[in-house]
Each structure stands twice: as structure tokens, then as C-alpha cells.
Chains A and B, each alone.
Chain A
Amino acid sequence: MKMKKIILSILGISTATTIVAAISGCKRHAVAVAATATLVATNTQAQTLINGAGSSFDYPAFTKWFEAYGKVDSNVRFNYQSIGSGAGQKQLLGQTVDFGASDAPMTDESMATAKGKILHIPVVAGGVAVIYNLPGDIKIKLDGDTLAAIYLGNITKWNDTKIAALNSGVNLPDLAIVPVHRADGSGTSFIFTDYLSVVNPAWADSIGKGSAVKWPAGIGLAAKGSEGVAGQVKQISGAIGYAELAYADQNKIPYADMKNSTGNFISPSTDSVSAALATAKIPEDFRFSMVNAPGDKSYPISGASWVLVYQQTKIADHGKPLVAFLKWAVTDGQKLSSQLDYAPLPDNVQQRELQLLDTIK
């Protein structure tokens, strides 16, 4: 009898504190509530916490997916650190996370240092818009060679004959071109320099591709982040820059139509990037570049971003939920990410990825 009373009173007290905590929202109480919540969860079914780290380009997509996936499987929780692609690869190699995320595929050298086979799973794709600031409401067209020449410093005026040849009928001003690039290492720079390297041999020889490169000396300036580049282009008359499509759209900066491999001038959009993905040559291991993809509707400056996982998962019981999530992300999740200006993965790519995901143990 006495025992029952004690138990009842304990129950009563804990319920009371929970209610008080919920009302007050005090930090210390919140911890207590969280602790109770986990306790309840572990009693019914073990909750899995999956850790990821890497690309900041993917971060908005992951945030949206994690939230929506809670409704699909409430027993899996995710923790993603948006620390950059390079750091994400390092964390995966150091086996401190379950998955990494990177805007550039891993190199053979760094794959060789891994303790196990690493798989590349493309999860999102995006276009890089070539933005500019010109007086008046001018819509311009550019091709890869002209863009490379601008960034190499060989074309310095907007009314240069090469630009004029692509834009007949457009009144180009006699204005100095100020090329703006990213100051920080970034996947956007990787896609941009990858494109210039593919279409322009001079660029490939002297600069090359990378998330950070040695930009031609004494030309233009650099800013931190896509928002930084967009900001500078907006401020400087005559500036040209590059940023993810979402930034260009949000900041209402005009962007150029780019000439693709079939000779069509294409405006960047989720559709034209998806078209590029559908026609891009994708090898077995998914380490591909989709710049200058064939197909008459493909936007040429686009790239994918990958989730990196070990084929043999390091923590045994994390494998299944992670694979289930990734399968969901590359199929159902694509509808959500396209709301955030990422290009959805086309069906043929989705099917191949599902097969690859089945090989994960």
C-alpha cells in the first residue's frame, strides 16, 4: 500500500515537472523533457542517429529532407554539419560520420587512403548562372570561349567584337568588364572552372579546374560566398560573376543565356539542368562531370553533388536506415528539393542509383 503511494507520488511529480517545463520552456527543464522523451523512445524501439558532414550547397536540401523523412520513419534522426565538401571528405575518411557530402567527386588518391570502398551517390544537381551588371535592361548571350577569354583577361570591354558577334542587335556599352569570382573554396567554382576547362583549351592549360584555382593575376576581384559574389556584381557596373541559380533568382540579377554543345543558347533553370543530367555520360561509379552535356535543351554549366558512403558501413545497424533514407531522397525527396531550385534527378539516373544503393551492406 505504502509502496503504491510512493510510486504514484513520483509519477505525479514527474508529470508536474514535465508540464511546468513545457510551459516555462526553460533550457534546463527542456533537457529533462528531452531526456524523458529519449527514455520513452528507447523503451519502445531504439532510435538511430545518423551523422553526416560536408557540402554547404546540399545543406538546404538535407534540412528539408530530414524534416520530411521524420514522417516516413520516425525512428531515424539525422545530424548534418554543413562544414564544406573538403571537410566532409576528411570526416568520412576519418570515419567520424556515417556519410559525407561533396560538390566534387573524390580523387583517386584520396579514395586510395580510405579504409573501404566509397560509393558516390548523386543526390542533387544545380545550375551555375553567369550573372552580370549592365546599364539598361540588356539580356545577353555568351559562349564558353568568350567567357573564358573574359576571365583570362583577354576580353576587357563589354563592346568587344567577340561579345558583339554573339549579341547582334544588342546595344553593348563601352564599359570595362570586372570579372568577380569566389574567394572561398567552393563547389560552384569547381563547376564553373570545370566547364571552362572542358570548352576552352587555353583555360585547361593555364588554370585548370578545382574548388579553388589560381585565378589569372590582376583581373577583377573575389568575394566570399555566392551571396558575396552576387552582392559585388550588383554593386559594380560592368561586373560579371557566377552563382548558383537560386542566388541569382533571389537577388533578381540578370543572367546570360549560355551556348550549349549543340549550339543552342539556353537559360539556366531546373528543367535545363535536369535535361543536362539526363543526357550526361555517367560512368558506373557515378564520378561524372555534367558540364557541356549533349542534348539540345541542356544547360552547359551545371553540376551534381554527391553523398559519399562506405559500401561496407562502419556501424552495422546504421547501414539499413541510411540506405532507406537515401533511396527515399533520390526518388520521393527530389520533389521537395526541386522546390529549392535544385534540378530533380531524371528517372534513368534514379533507377541506376537505386541499384547501386542495394549493394551497400
Chain B
Amino acid sequence: MSRTKSAFLPLFVLLIFRREKKFDCMATTKMTTATGQFGDRAFKWLTLAMAFAVFVLIALIGYELASGSHLAMQKFGWRFLISSDWDPVNDIYGALPVIFGTVVSSLIALIIAVPISVATAVYLTELAPLWLRQPLIMFIELLAAIPSVILGFWGLSVMVPWLHAHLFPAMRGTLGFLPLFKGPDYGPCILAAGMILAIMIVPIITSVSREILRSVPGLQREAAYALGATRWEVTRIAVLSYAKKGIFGAVILGLGRALGETMAVTLVIGNIAQIVPSLFSPGATLASTIANEFTEATGDLYYSALFELGLVLLGVTLVVNIFAQLLLKTFAGPSVKPQN
């Protein structure tokens, strides 16, 4: 990407110089319009090319992953997606447990992060006193700036031991009748991974939701107040229902990050590819498996299977996004979209 950009840089400079020239020779109007038109057109094509470069990039990534995973596709076909075997010694590969781990850990992250983020966004736009807003926003953005490996390390050395000593036994005591909270717990597990992911996606969902809530027209609120609504009713009816489509978009953005997160997850998830009901048991995700096993993958088929995991990850992200779009269309109402 950056290379394409730098290649276009001289063109930009050229354009700017042409503009300067325009002011120099104001007298010769004919020439000016010609130059101006050329400049506009060139700019239009240039921006088009930039926008198109993104498509090309994604297509290239998809192509590379597909050609890299050719060998595994040929050998396993669709069985790759539904088989639970991952056996490098006998060269048999199946991705189901890691797909399961990816989806479940991301879902846990959403369940934790969405209420927190939306509540924070509502507080910041509707309720917080002015002097408090800016510092709070700054702290949330600071949270987004923490590198994932630092969060992961903190998770491993501080959060996980605490969960193991305090929260998990408490959960087992109160919710232990559910299969979700049964079984042994060693500390690192799918639930811990979901919690780390939640911390990582809260800033994204909060900031985008806040922008959307801010763009809800003031008239909307005033109308609701005029009807005698309480503050809660105004927020619920006039603001949240108006902004739900946009907030949904914010959630999908967060989910996108959760699905692909690698380092922090690897550190706290326990890295055992398995499908079990208990959230206290270790799991593995697509991204963490690729990161863990890529460097030492010696066999061609093994290598190819790891490429296919990458392709599956791309596919899962795509499916989630399409599903989200469909969901949005089904529940369409008067709403504000994310403004980007």
C-alpha cells in the first residue's frame, strides 16, 4: 500500500504546482480552465485508483491464501471445515475446533463489551457533565492504544491468576449448574480470552457509538421531551432506537477486531483445540494457531493447511459481515449510519 502511495506522490506534487501556476497566469483565462479541468479529472482518477487499490489488495490476499492452501483443499476438501483432527505427525488436518474457539471467544467478548460500550457512549453524549467528558474520552482512546501483546501479558500474569483464584470459583458456586461453568479450570481458558478481547474492543465500539449518538439530531430529543418523556425514555425512544443501525455497525467493527486478534489471545486461551461446553476449558483460535505453528511447519501439507486456516479466517469475517448486513436490512428503521 505505502509503496503505491509513494509512487503517486510525485503526481500529487505535480498537481499542486499546476494549481499554483493557475494563480500566476490569471490573465490567460482559456489556458486556466483547461489546466483546471485537467487537474480535476486527474484528481478524480487518482482517488478512484486509490480506492480501487483496496479491492485489489483484498483480492490479492484472497488469491494468495487460496493458492497457498491448494494442497490442503485438494486433500481434504470440505472435510477440512467439519473435521476435529489436527495431527501434524500423520498429516491429517481439520479446522472445526479452532473455528469454534474463534467464534465462541469473540461472542463472549461481544456479550461483555457491547453493554459496557453502549452505556459508556450514552453516558458520554447524554448525561456526563462537560468537564468530565474530555478526560473520559481521552482514557478510552488510551485504552485503544495499548499494544495487544502488553494486554496479553497483563492478562497472563495478572488477570488470569486473579480469575482463577476469585472470579471462577465464585461463578462455579453460583452458576455451576450450567454445563458452561463446569469442569476443571487451570486459569487460561476461552472465557479469559473472551475477557481480554472485550477489553480490546470496548474502545472501538465506544468511540464509534459515541460519534453516532452525537449525530442524532437535537430536534429528536426535544420532541420526545415535549411529549413528556423522562430522560431514560428520551434516551431509549428518541436516541437509541434512532441510532441502533449505526451502533450495530460499531459492534461489527469490534467483532472484526476480536475475530482476528492473535497475540493477546494466544497468551491466555490455553491453546488446546477442542470443542467442549465448559468455558473454563482451554481453546484455540484460527489466528492463534497460525501464529503458533507457522514457523515450525516443515511438511508441505502442514504448511498448506495453515494457509487454509488463514483463508477460513477471511471467510468467517466475510460471513459475519454479510450476516450482519442482512440482519440490518431485516430490522431496518429510521436510523443513522456510521459517518465515515
A85 within 8 A of B: yes
Is A232 an interface residue when CB atoms closer than 8 A count as contact? yes
Partner of A183, one of B88, B90, B271: B271
- How many Å lie between the Cα of A228 and that of B291 in the bound state? 14
Q: A183-B292, A185-B296, A235-B160 are in contact. List 10 more A-B contacts (CB 8 A).
A: A56-B295, A86-B297, A104-B298, A183-B288, A185-B295, A207-B89, A221-B186, A221-B270, A223-B271, A235-B187
Q: Which of B156, B282, B292, B298 makes the CB contact (< 8 A) with A184?
A: B292
Residues of A within 8 A of B156 (CB): 231
Query: Contact mask A57-90 → B, CB, 8 Å, 1/0?
Result: 0000000000000000000000000011111011
Is B86 in contact with A221, judged by CB distance below 8 angstroms? no
Report the minimum CB–CB distance from B39 to chain A (whole Å).
Answer: 34
Q: Is A314 positioned at the interface, with any CB of B under 8 Å from its CB? A: no
CB of B270, distance to nearest CB on chain A (Å): 4
A217 within 8 A of B: yes
Q: Is the CB of A208 within 8 A of B89?
A: yes
Residues of A within 8 A of B35 (CB): none
Asked if A178 CB lies within 8 Å of chain B CBs, one says yes
The answer to the question of A261 belonging to the interface, with a C-beta cut-off of 8 Å to chain B, is: no
| Contact count band on A | 35 or more
Tell yes or no: A210 within 8 A of B by CB. yes
CB-nearest residue of chain B relative to A190?
B296
Residue A355 interfacial (CB < 8 Å) = no
In the complex, chain B residues whose CB is within 8 Å of the CB of A232: 187-188
A272 at the interface (CB under 8 A from B): no
Q: A221-B270, A224-B271 are in contact. Are A211 and B296 (CB under 8 A)?
A: yes
As a 0/1 sequence over residues 71 to 89 of chain B, the CB contacts with chain A under 8 angstroms (1 = contact) are 0000000000000011111
By a CB distance below 8 angstroms, the chain B residues around A86 are 295-298, 303
Among A84, A107, A223, A236, the residue within 8 A (CB) of B295 is: A84
Cβ–Cβ contact A214 & B272, under 8 A = no
- Report the number of A-B residue pairs with Cβ-Cβ less than 8 Å: 98
Across chains A and B, which 8 residue pairs bring their CB atoms closest together, nearest first?
Answer: A185-B296, A84-B295, A183-B271, A214-B87, A222-B271, A221-B270, A208-B89, A184-B292
A212 touches B270 (CB 8 A): no
B276 adjacent to chain A (CB < 8 Å): yes
Of chain B, the residue at the smallest CB distance from A176 is B184
Question: What residues of B have a CB within 8 angstroms of the CB of A87 in the complex?
Answer: 295-296
Residue contacts A-B, CB under 8 angstroms, 18 given: A56-B295, A83-B295, A84-B294, A85-B298, A86-B297, A185-B292, A185-B295, A185-B297, A212-B88, A212-B297, A214-B90, A215-B272, A218-B281, A221-B188, A221-B272, A221-B282, A222-B271, A236-B186
Does A214 lie within 8 Å of B88, measured CB to CB?
yes
Number of interface residues of B (CB under 8 A): 34
Contact in complex: B271, A210 (CB < 8 Å): no
Closest beta carbon of chain B to A229's beta carbon, Å: 11
Majority SS at the chain A contact face: loop
Q: In the complex, what distance in Å separates the CA atom of A228 from the CA atom of B156?
A: 10
Closest partner residue, chain B, to A103 (CB atom): B296
Interface assignment of A213: CB less than 8 Å from any CB of chain B: yes
User: What distance in Å separates the Cβ of A251 from its nearest Cβ neighbour in chain B?
Assistant: 13
What residue in chain B is nearest A178 (Cβ atoms)? B186
If A221-B186, A221-B282 touch, whether A184 touches B295 (CB-CB below 8 Å) is yes
CA distance A237 to B87 in the complex (A): 29
Question: For residue A168, which residues in chain B have a CB less than 8 angstroms away from its CB?
Answer: none
B266 to A: closest C-beta gap in Å: 5
Chain B residues numbered 247-298 whose CB sits less than 8 Å from any CB in chain A: 266-267, 270-272, 274, 276, 281-282, 284, 288, 291-298
Q: Which residue of A lies closest to B298 (CB)?
A: A86
* Bound Cα distance A89, B296 (Å): 9
Confirm or deny: A220 has a beta carbon within 8 angstroms of a beta carbon on chain B: yes
Q: How far is the CA of A239 from the CA of B270 in the complex (A)?
A: 13
Digitize B34-60: 1 where CB-to-A-CB distance is under 8 Å, 0 elsewhere: 000000000000000000000000000
Within A97-116, the residues touching B (CB, 8 Å) are 104, 107, 110
For A224, what are the chain B residues with a Cβ–Cβ distance below 8 Å? 266-267, 271, 292
B265 to chain A, nearest CB (A): 11
Instruction: Check: B217 CB closer than 8 A to any chain A CB.
Output: no
Q: Does A209 contact B (CB under 8 A)?
A: yes
Give complex CA distance A215, B186 in Å: 17
CB-based contact A218/B295 at 8 Å: no
Given the known interface contacts A85-B296, A107-B298, A185-B295, the answer about A213 and B270 at a Cβ–Cβ threshold of 8 Å is no
Q: How far is the CB of B107 from chain A (nearest CB, A)?
A: 21
Is A186 an interface residue, CB under 8 A from the partner?
A: yes
Question: With A107-B298, A184-B292, A228-B267 in contact, is A222–B282 under 8 Å at CB?
Answer: yes
Instruction: Determine how close the nearest CB of chain A comes to the CB of B130; give it in whole angstroms.
Output: 45
Cα(A56)–Cα(B276), bound, Å:
34
A29, B157: Cα distance in complex, Å? 42
Give min CB distance, A152 to chain B, whole Å.
15
